[in-house]
Amino acid sequence: MEVKELKKNIRKTIKSIRLSLSPIDAKRKAQQVFAEIESMERFRLAKTVLAFWSLPDEIDTHDFVIKWAAQKRIVLPVVVGDELEFRLYKGVEYLQKSSGFGIMEPKTGELVDPKEINFAIIPGVAFDLKGNRLGRGKGFYDRTLPKLINAVKVGVAYEFQLIDSVPVSEHDHPVDFVIYN
């Protein structure tokens, strides 16, 4: 089976498992993942943190983003064409749903250079223990990860999103760590 087909099958399997996870279990597991991130020295020392405003089928980042926005520069991605740009998060009231993907993004806010980011929390459909990640297939984070030259890159996931081996192509970029529960 070719890589593209393998990736498609993994995405389908992970989505069905995620839909079976109860909201209470999902919230508890997300809290445990982010508690582990908060205990990391690299996170505690970071001044500028890239996060993402999670979609319903992703590990919930909302509480984490809101909590840390008062203490650190929290940056969220904004889809612009085929690239991501980064804007300072200023509060839930400044988010709007993107036209193409339904992702909540900052509608205003200071643009942040990727080189300023010290710690990056990266979404994924699946990860393996080598840090390989499977995204949604549009390549946004694969184009972004190489630009985060001063950041530790941490994938966040539910335990079922950790698989033995993520199929990779030449354009795929791994994360440094995967935190899961």
CA distance 103 to 73: 20
pLDDT digits (tens, 9 = 90+) for 66-123: 999 999 999 999 999 989 999 999 999 999 998 677 899 998 889 999 999 999 999 9
Other beta carbons within 10 Å of 93 = 7
**Looking at the predicted structure, is the pLDDT value of residue 1 above 90?**
no
CA distance 125 to 153: 16
Strand partners, 177: 154
Residue spans per domain, the chain: 3-180
Displacement of CA 84 from its chain's centroid (Å): 12
- The CATH code of domain 3-180 reads 3.40.50.10420
pLDDT digits (tens, 9 = 90+) for 112-160: 999 999 999 999 999 999 999 999 988 899 999 999 999 999 999 999 9
